[in-house]
Amino acid sequence: MIKRVQCELCPNECVLENGQHSRCRARMNKDGTLYSLVYGKPCAVHVDPIEKKPFFHFLPGTTAFSIATAGCVLSCKFCQNWQISQAKPEETDNYDLPPDKVVSQAIAYKCRSVTYTYTEPTVFYEYMYDTAVIAKKQGIKNTMHSCGYIKEKPLRKLSRYMDAADIDLKAFTEDFYSKICSGSLKPVLNSLVVLKEEGVWLEITNLVIPTLNDDMKNIKEMCKWILKNLSSDVPIHFSRFFPQYKLTNLPPTPLETLIEARKTAMDVGLKFVYIGNIRQEGESTFCPKCKRLLIERIGYFVKQNNISNGKCRFCSTSIPGVWS
């Protein structure tokens, strides 16, 4: 009897023979049943400011209890977290942290949210889901940082418990996704639309890499797509590439490129465009209407917050985001 199994979690749609591991390394076929190898076994557990995830319009100034297991659905050549994302769960040193313990620890460390991040939360879907259910019941918010490479059905199911998502929109060409990440752009765009429909608070990150995805024309197309299919309210974070993993000899992104990307995005009509990991006025939030300073950020530190009841303190415009 053939005990083949197909995983339907992400667009890789791995077909696994008995005993075979999935491409993301976190799942396995055992006698015709698909098992998660990482449930309750994170290898990275830290308390971080939520601005690091990066979330700028979600509970600013609070901390997030961040967890991740080994494995990832893609294999990006510039991955910062390659030591876990490209590893096998059998190789990493893992904690034993079942869902309820995640939530109780988050509360003990005074975190307002649990963030599923570092690697790709899609690979520990069941763990994330169960934890999210318990967290919601106890008043803890759920956020995730994902590459969006997940199929629609599981994403919609998860969205009922996910309060915010930061999606890596790595580039706007299929070529980049296939050559550099061994994946595809289309499913990511689809996930973005689904998240918006489900009412999950959405922020987007784009890592600008010299010569690979720094073409301003493509960045402009990307911003236009965001404007058209999502909203002008979605915050965009452009971040600076540093030599990493397989691209250890590519120069880091020049500041001018990031500044130009931000200008391009704002010219297209996006309201909240930030330049991450470089200190600039591109790190603070300004009111789109009266232009006054709403949230002053220095690095990950929130110095002042002029938003009350979700509105600008000065002109009472409603500011998109989740503020409490």
Partner 1 sequence: MGFTSMLLQITVLRLLLSTFSGNELDIGITLSFWLIYVGLGSYIGKKIKLKHAFTLSFILIALLAQPIVIAIKAIRPVLSLEPGEIVSLTSTILSTAISLFPITFIIGLQFPLAVSYSGGSNAAGRVYGLEALGAFIGGVFFTFVISSRVGAFELCLLLALINILIALYVSKKKIITLILIIPLFFHFGFHKIATVLPWHGLEISETTESRYGEIAVIKVRDQSSVYANGHLIFTYPDSQSEEMSTHLLIAIHPSPLKILVIGGSPGTLKEFLKYPVEKIDFIELDPKIVEVSLKLLGIREDKEAVKDPRVNIIVKDGRRFIKGLNKPMYDLIVLTLPQPSTASINRFYTTDFFNEAKGVLKQDGILVISIPQSTGYIGKRMQTASGSIYNSLKYVFRYVEVTAQEYGDLFASDSVINTDPEILENRFIKRAIKTKHFNQYIFRDAFSPLNVDYVKKRLGGIKLINTDIRPSAYLYNLMLWAEIHGGKILHYLLEIKGWNVILFSGILLVFISFIVFRKKKRVIYFSIFTTGFSGMSFVLAVILAYQSIYGYVYEMIGILSATFMIGLWIGTIITRNAKMPLRILFSLEVMTILLAIISPLFFKAELLFYVLVFISGAIIGGQFSTANLSMDEPEAGGKIYAMDLVGSFMGALIPSLVIIPLFGVTNALLLIAFIKTFSAAMILSLIQIQR
Residues at the contact surface with partner 1, assessed by CB under 8 A: 43-44, 46-47, 49, 66, 68, 77, 80-84, 87, 91-93, 117-119, 179-180, 210-212, 240, 243, 245-257, 277-279, 298-301
Q: Report in angstroms how near the CB of residue 228 gets to partner 1 at its nearest.
A: 29
Q: Which is nearer to partner 1, 201 or 241 (CB)?
A: 241
Q: Which is nearer to partner 1, 170 or 271 (CB)?
A: 170
Whole-number Å distance between alpha carbons of 39 and 201: 26
Q: Which is nearer to partner 1, 91 or 174 (CB)?
A: 91
Q: Which is nearer to partner 1, 43 or 73 (CB)?
A: 43
Tokens of 184: 């595809």
Q: Report in angstroms how near the CB of residue 131 gets to partner 1 at its nearest.
A: 17
Q: Which is nearer to partner 1, 79 or 192 (CB)?
A: 79
SS3 297: strand
Q: Report in angstroms how near the CB of residue 170 gets to partner 1 at its nearest.
A: 14
SS3 125: helix
Q: Report in angstroms how near the CB of residue 247 gets to partner 1 at its nearest.
A: 5
Tokens of 99: 């869902």
CA 315-318-322 angle, 5° bins: 135
Q: Report in angstroms how near the CB of residue 245 gets to partner 1 at its nearest.
A: 6
Q: Report in angstroms how near the CB of residue 84 gets to partner 1 at its nearest.
A: 5
Q: Which is nearer to partner 1, 122 or 257 (CB)?
A: 257
Q: Which is nearer to partner 1, 8 or 281 (CB)?
A: 281
Whole-number Å distance between alpha carbons of 33 and 109: 37
* DSSP states along 34-97: EEES-TT--SEEEEEEGGGTT-SSBSTT-EEEEEE-S--S---TT-TTHHHHTS-TTTS-----
Q: Report in angstroms how near the CB of residue 217 gets to partner 1 at its nearest.
A: 16
The letter for the amino acid at 169 is: L
Whole-number Å distance between alpha carbons of 81 and 117: 10
SS3 145: strand
Strand arrangement of the beta sheet that strand 201-208 belongs to: 44-49, 63-68, 113-116, 141-146, 164-168, 201-208, 236-240, 273-275
